[in-house]
Amino acid sequence: MRERLDRQGWSYGDVARRGAIPRSTVHHLATADRLVRMPQPNTLEGLARGLELPLDTVRRAAAEACGIHVYEAAPDPEVDVLIASVQQLSAQDRRHVAALVESLLERGRRTDDTEDDAGGAGDTVVP
């Protein structure tokens, strides 16, 4: 948000007037290192108008400022289910899932390395 204000040369008041929201709200959202909770939907809508940005862009930035990572919709429904359900697991179960994922990724890397090594043996070298 601060970057947008600087780039456009806008003040908090400019954004507040265009978005029909209080200047103090714009100031708070622009200067807070981390938001405690998501702004109300009407505040996000006003901020989007005031910053001349799509509402989804403003909503995503606000969520991330609250410490909420917003995932893009995955083309694979199984990925969406995994992402959505992991937060429902206990801390211990999440650690188990993370260890399993790391193990599977490592196994995949080892398999890739082995295939690369085997593929290189039959290469023809042309001077």
Looking at residue 86, its pLDDT comes to 76
**Mean pLDDT over each residue of the chain, to the nearest integer:** 83
For residues 61 and 16, membership in a common domain is answered with yes
Amino acid letter, residue 7: R
Q: pLDDT tens digits, residue range 13-45?
A: 999 999 999 999 999 999 988 888 889 999 999
Q: Would you say residue 70 lies in a domain?
A: no
For residues 56 and 83, membership in a common domain is answered with no
Using the predicted structure, report yes or no on whether residue 68 has a pLDDT greater than 60. Answer: yes
Containing structural domain, residue 98: 77-120
Q: Would you say residue 125 lies in a domain?
A: no
For residues 82 and 61, membership in a common domain is answered with no
Q: Would you say residue 6 lies in a domain?
A: yes
Please count the structural domains in the chain: 2
Q: Between 52 and 75, whose confidence is greater?
A: 52
Looking at residue 108, its pLDDT comes to 85
Please give the average per-residue pLDDT across 50-57, as a whole number.
Answer: 93
User: Count of CB atoms within 10 A of residue 16's CB?
Assistant: 20
Query: Residue by residue, what is the 3-state secondary structure of the chain?
Result: CHHHHHHHCCCHHHHHHHHCCCHHHHHHHHHCCCCCCCCCHHHHHHHHHHHCCCHHHHHHHHHHHCCCCCCCCCCCHHHHHHHHHHCCCCHHHHHHHHHHHHHHHHHHHHHHHHHHHHHHHCCCCCC
Domain boundary (19, 34, 65) is at 65
For residues 18 and 41, membership in a common domain is answered with yes
Split at pLDDT 50, 70, 90, the class of 3 is confident
Looking at residue 73, its pLDDT comes to 66
Q: Where residue 30 sits, what CATH number does that domain have? A: 1.10.260.40
For residues 40 and 82, membership in a common domain is answered with no
Using the predicted structure, report yes or no on whether residue 66 has a pLDDT greater than 70. Answer: yes
C-alpha span between 95 and 97 (Å, rounded): 5
Using the predicted structure, report yes or no on whether residue 81 has a pLDDT greater than 80. Answer: no
Using the predicted structure, report yes or no on whether residue 120 has a pLDDT greater than 60. Answer: no
